[in-house]
Structure 1
Amino acid sequence: MHHSLLLALCGIASAFSVPRQASNSTKYAVKTPPLTTPWTYTAGTDPWPEYPRPQLQRSQLQSLNGIWTYQNASSLDAINSLPSGQLANEVLIPSCLESGLSGIQGEYTIYSWFATSFDVPSTWTGDRVLLNFAAVDYEATVFVNGRNATFHRGGYFAFTVDVTDYLNGNGQNELLVFVHDPTDSDPYVIPIGKQTLRPSHIFYTPCSGIWQSVWIESAPASHVTQLDIAAGMDGQVNATVSSSGNSSAQVQITVTDRKTNTTVATHNGASNVECTFSVQDVSLWSPDSPTLYDITVTLGDDVVTSYTGFRTIARGEVDGIERPLLNGEFVFQFGTLDQGFWPDGIYLPPNKEAMVYDLQTLKKLGFNMLRKHIKVEPALYYQACDEMGILLFQDMPSLRPSQQRTLDNCTVETVLPDAAQQDEFARQLELLIVQQRHFPSIVTWVVYNEGWGQLVDYYPEFALTDRVKQLDPTRLVDSTSGWYDHGAGDFSDNHHYANPQCGSPFYSIASAPYDPSRIGVQGEFGGIGQNLSIEHLWNVQGAIDTINQTYEIDTTIEAWNYRGHRLLGELLDQVKMYSCSGGIWTQTTDVEGEVNGLLSYDRRVLRPDVGQWQADIQNLYDAAAARNNASMPAGGG
């Protein structure tokens, strides 16, 4: 850790004029992005009012989303001297500093200060006040009333700090956050996914700062800190209620049928230990019937609500072929490569309506799955997938992908993690599993994508896969999606453009041959593009210049749909003839210089002939169902 951050964590205290939302800061306004969406100018200044953590909700909360102040900092050393006045600009929180919606639309926003103020409701007197950040990219040091409250590293993960002891007895409290986001600047090798400081074709504008919701909530001294629930098709519930302090406390878990609002089970147990109980005659969760059950947990005076779905993910042999099983049946999983970028918000959609629009579009076309590609979304996204019945392959955001550096002796080397950076990747992979494992829609974890950041002098995916299975034995693991596959995990995953090579006796050198001891899936294929007029394109010349790097360009929408039909027909043959168990089409939307989406980047153009695509996708499910005579599951849970 940088020495200045160490100093900060030791609790720097300094007298300073507190930063406020001040009249002399540059006023907030949406900056015109290179491309808008239908929601760009409707997001407003009270963004994302929904409770941001649907799997652990409390009744007493106060959103801190809205207009904060911001100013750029020169270096990490800036943290040693807290700002002495109002920050220079108003900024919308949550947002990416690089986005038009932030009001900043910055570049190289590597060091940043953010500030706001808040009052604690008088009704919270006697309780603890918890400050929550859903995600800050990449390192955040949080000061409350000038005192260091916490430090967090990892751009995709939530963190909470009890700030009760830092609060003023009466009146306003000042919140100041220093953010360091190096992205892919040297010497940093950190999880960034598709973000880069030098956008080009398949690598895009980065996201820096407080890009997900911030809120405070009231909780008693003894309170729930984490809730882990896994519910299987047999009605069995495995639950762990973690609480503040190390000692066990009495807890009560109540399960309610959401459709009838009737209690179907009540279990009394203790916190900080796993408990198991059963619910009779449950309705199962699946893409065709995404049934959810509400959960209430009571620990003393703390009452939190959550939900779950009863379903079992496993792998098993079906007529001699390894298959993914959902509730004991082979269900063909077909989805899109979903990157989750927005022209106006970059990593964050303008609002929930916009976010859900993408999912509704995929569901309408007939997709039952998507691969969340080397990005982690806000929790409300996963809740929407749970409610709509969309299976998820969830990627771990990759370390610096496909980059090289030139050394002083003029030799060129591939950028790979050193031992400490690899350890940090593993730590953040654990955060991903622990924070997302309670969403029923997630069925598979993906560790590495196409060798990006994957060490080659040994095979770290084996130990990482084992760790993922320890943390979550209820799901499958796709250890290497494409490229350097040494046999780890549950999937034999092929990437090939444009034609699929799924579970088949033919392959290209970019992916290993199909391994019949594991599940055969097409982790990426398609990628066919069709150019658009400038009003639907990311209007940045460098991006426009890379459009012809798209895997295939079809000159008319009719040709694009014809090619889609032919490629889906090839995949259908591989389902009927060989061992294909799932496929992922590239991609949901265009992104910057890529024009191979089902939707344009502005979400205003839908390329597919809806009836044709619905029929072609249904044919895949029907062909898989015709081969579905499942034997007993092996593995999974």
Structure 2
Amino acid sequence: MHSTLFTGILALAPMLGNLALGYEVKTPPLDTKWTYSVGTNPWPEYPRPQLERAQWKSLNGIWKWKPGSYQGESIPASNSFDKDILVPSCIESGLSGVMELNHTYSWYTTEFHVPLGFAQRGHAVKLNFEAVDYQATVYVNDQLVGTHEGGYWHFGFDITKFINTNGTTNTLHVNVFDPTDQPGYMHPVGKQASEPSHIFYTPCSGIWQSVWLESVPDTYIQQLDVVADMSGQVNVTVTSNKGSDPVTIAVFNSEGKEVASAKGVANKPFDFVVKSPKLWSPDSPSLYNLAVTLGQDKVKSYTGFRTLSIGVIDGVKRPLLNGEFIFQFGTLDQGFWPDGIYTPPNREAMVYDLQVLKDYGLNMLRKHIKVENALFYQACDQLGLLLIQDMPSMPLRTPDAAQQADWERQLDILINQHKNYPSIYTWVIYNEGWGQIVDYYPEFNITNRIRELDPTRFIDATTGWHDHGAGDFHDNHHYANPQCGTPFYSIQSTPYDSNRIAIQGEFGGIGHNVSGEHLWKVWGAVQTINQTYEIDQDLDAYNYRGHLLLSELRDQVEKYACSGAVWTQTTDVEGEVNGFLTYDRRIIRPDKEQWRADIQALYDAAAKRGGKAPKQTYAL
């Protein structure tokens, strides 16, 4: 077992020293400007901005941690926890204070007090986890509370009957099992790899998103689903833990003025209208705040008014936002950090990436086989960035029937937990055949299932390889130059299918090496840099090549059927050096004036192809 992430070139990134107890950031193979300012109260923001209550308490901070031994082992003795760990963070990260690999089993523990009034008569106390990779078994005061499986999804438990509420201390233990991509296991892992290599990266194990308490009434809102379209029609479903009690909802504009209200009952959809709403789009990301009341439960939320549809313009199928064809251009966004792996150092750091993309004129990004915390999606809603959301893929193997069924179960969770963010406009099922069954075509049934769960968005059934005709997009991957909606294609793609929307799901990927101070200082990663699709020796060459590739894409927008494109990628990651930004976010490669002009040229070319109302429109 590796004691740290350093393998091969330790001298480039000295360790801070192993402390038996007492949290301290470990020096990662590469840091960011935020690494050493995270502190011991990380992610203090309310974790779920679309279901916000007044009474809550963050449990983020310094916990104790130790390796585990096997599934089902008893809770360890308190004096056996010999390391401190920052929650939330990946065990493998420098921010965790542990920074160790290959811990399939591990234990966390902390103590907490229940705030006065949380457990008053008629109320319950919920313990919430935003994400634990991969399986979490939770104990409160040495009593089993519950188990959850799935590394990307939020979950919670009613712990009222397990807690002390008289001001005395409560003890929380979490046992984590995370096999990542070990042989015999097939579950969503995205780009995590137990043996990282070039396009596969350091894994994330453990509690990597926020942990918190909240007080809820005995009857409370479990989920709030809101669909608000461009006509002002609003459909609401308030899911409660029991009954069909009356519900009220009020809608407020950005100035705080109430513009509509309605009444319904829990667990049944109801409709109302907001007159002449300001529509959500990348150019004008207007959001409306919501206040929802169910008995004693009151929650805050927000929504955006927008409609997605498919239109035929001059014989070409186009994606429409609010009835208009807008060319979508964005980056492949991996969501990895050198100091936090899967967990950004803080909200400021996370939003910085998005602001850079917006500043360069991009209107979209593809969240690549990873799911982020709720604040990420809120930031995209606020900034006006369209989101293609991938389902995290399984390893590069073929699943058996049970593994496929569980992966599809988790795909349902992805949709249900994220279908209220206005920025998300497309769901991706499979990426380049990873974990995809190809002797029959499950993506057709999966597409139908997604339509049932969320009929309001586009579906990209297979981004890249093994496209059998399912979904709304014909999605080509090709490096470095694009092949978007064209009569030419390459061996791993398929001919353009005019029955679907043409999008370039990945292209570009041109690389530019940097000095060692900006590289992921792990020898195995450094050795793979030359596997980058193309290496440009200096930034002049990088920007020249970028201009040529974007010009070629513009030609395809003008001449053929291209409706959107995804450039690889937002940032470098470990052994990859093809990002707009370096992995430490300290260098931005593209020349802003040139790239803004080239990106605007894409939008202008698309406008000339689709500036008029479509002749034919299809609902999704």
SS of 2:452's equivalent in the other structure is helix
Given candidates 202, 205, 210, the residue that maps to 2:202 is 205
Q: Distance in 2 between matches of 1:167 and 1:349?
A: 32
Amino acid in the other structure paired with 1:48? W
SS of match in other structure, 2:414: helix
2:106 corresponds to 1:112: yes
Distance 1:177 1:317, change over 3 A: same
Q: Given that residues 256 and 293 in structure 1 are in contact (C-alpha distance below 8 angstroms), is that contact kept between their aligned partners in structure 2?
A: yes
CA distance in 1, matches of 2:616, 2:214: 43
* Equivalent residue, structure 1, for 2:317: 322
Of the three residues 32, 38, 56, the one matched with 2:27 is 32
Task: Give 2:3's aligned residue.
Answer: none
Paired letter, 1:554:
D
1:239-278 superposed matches below 5 A: 239-245=236-242, 247-258=243-254, 260-278=255-273
Cα offset, 1:632, TM superposition: 6.0
Equivalent position of 1:599 in the other structure: 581
Are the aligned partners of 2:365 and 2:386 in contact in 1 as well (CA < 8 Å)? yes
Deviations 1:358-383 (A, max 9, x none): 00000011100000000000000000
Q: Is the 8 A contact 1:25 1:69 kept in 2?
A: no
Shift, 1:77, TM fit: 3.7
Which residue matches 2:162? 166
**5+ long unaligned stretches in structure 2:** 1-18
Are 1:631 and 2:617 counterparts? no
- 1:176 and 2:170 are equivalent in the alignment: no
CA 1:422–1:634: 2 relative to 1, 3 Å: farther
Q: Which amino acid aligns with 1:325?
A: L
Instruction: Give the Å deviation of 1:83.
Output: 3.5
Q: Cα deviation per residue 1:551-570 (whole Å; 9 max; x = unaligned)?
A: 00011110000000000000
Deviation per CA, 1:590-616, whole angstroms, max 9, x where unpaired? 000000001000000000000000000
Q: Does 1:57 align with 2:52?
A: yes
Q: Secondary structure at the match of 1:573?
A: helix
* Residue pair 1:35, 1:538 contacting (<8 A) in 2 also: yes
Listed one character per residue, the Cα deviations across residues 518-557 of structure 1 (whole Å, up to 9, x for unaligned) are 0000000000001000000000000000000000001111
Return the alpha-carbon distance in structure 1 between the equivalents of residues 34 and 325 of structure 2: 39
The whole-number CA distance in structure 2 between the counterparts of 1:144 and 1:380 is 27
Residues 125-524 of structure 1 correspond to what in structure 2 (within 5 A)? Answer: 125-126=120-121, 127-170=123-166, 171-245=168-242, 247-258=243-254, 260-401=255-396, 415-524=397-506
Q: 2:66, 2:80 within 8 Å by CA — same for their partners in 1?
A: no
Look up the SS of the partner of 1:92 in the other structure: strand
Asked whether the equivalents of residues 313 and 616 of structure 2 are also in contact (C-alpha less than 8 Å), the reply is no
Distance 1:457 1:311 in 2: 38
Matched to 1:92, the amino acid is L
SS at match of 2:498: coil
Which amino acid is 2:221 matched to?
A: V
CA gap 1:76/1:236 in 2 versus in 1, 3 angstroms: same
Amino acid at match of 1:173: N
8 A contact 2:550–2:598 mirrored in 1: yes
Q: How far apart, CA to CA, are the structure 1 residues paired with 2:617 and 2:117? A: 53
Q: CA–CA distance in 2 between the matches of 1:88 and 1:387?
A: 42
Mapped to 2, the partners of 1:266 and 1:163 lie a distance apart of: 34
Amino acid in structure 2 at the alignment position of 1:612: Q
Contact 1:328-1:633 within 8 A present in 2 as well: no
- 2: CA distance, partners of 1:195 / 1:169: 40
State the distance in 2 between where 1:83 and 1:596 align.
Answer: 47
Equivalent residue of 1:85, what SS? helix
Q: Is the 8 A contact 2:398 2:436 kept in 1?
A: yes
TM-aligned CA deviation for residue 54 of structure 1: 0.5
CA distance in 2, matches of 1:83, 1:560: 56
- Amino acid aligned to 1:356: V
Q: Determine if contact 2:249/2:292 at 8 Å carries over to the other structure.
A: yes
Q: CA deviation at 1:468?
A: 0.8
* Aligned-partner residue type, residue 520 of structure 1: A
Residues of 2 paired with 1:470 and 1:271: CA distance?
A: 20
Out of 92, 95, 100, the position equivalent to 1:98 is 92
**For residues 168 and 554 of structure 1, what CA distance do their matches in structure 2 show?**
62
CA shift for structure 1 position 589: 0.3
Partner Cα separation in structure 1 for residue 256 and residue 164 of structure 2? 42
Conserved? CA contact 2:114–2:165, under 8 Å: no
Q: Distance in 1 between matches of 2:375 and 2:259?
A: 26
Give the partner amino acid of 2:591.
D
Q: Deviations over 1:56-83 (max 9, x none)?
A: 00000000000011000112142x4544
Cα 1:635/1:138, change in 2 over 3 Å: farther
Which one of 516, 525, 541 corresponds to residue 507 of structure 2? Answer: 525
Q: CA separation of 1:58/1:529 partners in 2, compared to 1, >3 Å: closer, same or farther?
A: same
For 1:328, the aligned partner's letter is: G
Superposition TM-score, scaled by structure 1 size: 0.93
Aligned residue identity for 2:481 = N
Amino acid at match of 2:260: A
Separation (CA, whole Å) in 1 of partners of 2:532 and 2:614: 42
Rate the CA distance shift 1:364–1:77 in 2: closer, same or farther, 3 A. same
Task: Give the distance between the partners of 2:340 and 2:233, measured in 1 at CA.
Answer: 41
CA-to-aligned-CA distance 1:152-181 (integer Å, 9 cap, x gap): 000000001111011124211111000101
- Within 2, Cα distance between the matches of 1:39 and 1:169? 37
The AA in structure 1 aligned to 2:357 is L
Please report how far the alpha carbon of residue 457 of structure 1 lies from its aligned counterpart in structure 2 after TM superposition.
1.1
User: In the superposition, relative to structure 1, how do residues 154 and 635 fare at CA in structure 2: closer, same or farther (>3 Å)?
Assistant: farther
Q: Does the aligned pair in 2 maintain the 1:36–1:344 contact within 8 Å?
A: yes
Does the 8 A contact of 2:92 with 2:100 survive in 1?
Answer: yes
Compared with structure 1, are the counterparts of its residues 227 and 633 closer, same or farther at alpha carbon in structure 2 (3 Å cutoff)?
farther
The DSSP-based 3-state class of the residue aligned with 1:225 is strand
- For residues 515 and 416 of structure 1, the distance between their equivalents in structure 2, rounded to whole angstroms, comes to 27
In the aligned structure 2, how far is the partner of 1:38 from the partner of 1:443?
A: 32
**CA separation in 2, counterparts of 1:69 and 1:296?**
38
Q: Tell me what 2:557 maps to.
A: 575
SS at match of 1:630: coil
- Structure 1: gaps of 5 or more residues: 1-23, 402-414
- CA gap 1:604/1:269 in 2 versus in 1, 3 angstroms: same
Q: Give the aligned partner of residue 81 of structure 2.
A: 87
Deviation (angstroms), 1:94: 0.3
Letter in 2 for 1:555: Q
1:210 offset after TM fit, Å? 0.3
State whether residues 501 and 507 of structure 1, in contact with CA within 8 Å, keep that contact through their aligned partners in structure 2.
yes
1:86 and 1:262 mapped to 2: Cα distance?
56
Structure 1, residues 224-263: CA drift from partner, whole Å, max 9, x if none? 1111111100101111001112x201110000002x2110
Q: Is the 8 A contact 1:317 1:630 kept in 2?
A: no
* Alpha-carbon RMSD: 1.1
Count of aligned pairs between the two proteins: 598
Kept in 1, the 8 Å contact 2:309–2:320? The answer is yes
Aligned partners of 1:311 and 1:440 also within 8 Å? yes
Q: Percent identical across equivalent pairs?
A: 61
Moved more, 69-78 or 316-325: 69-78
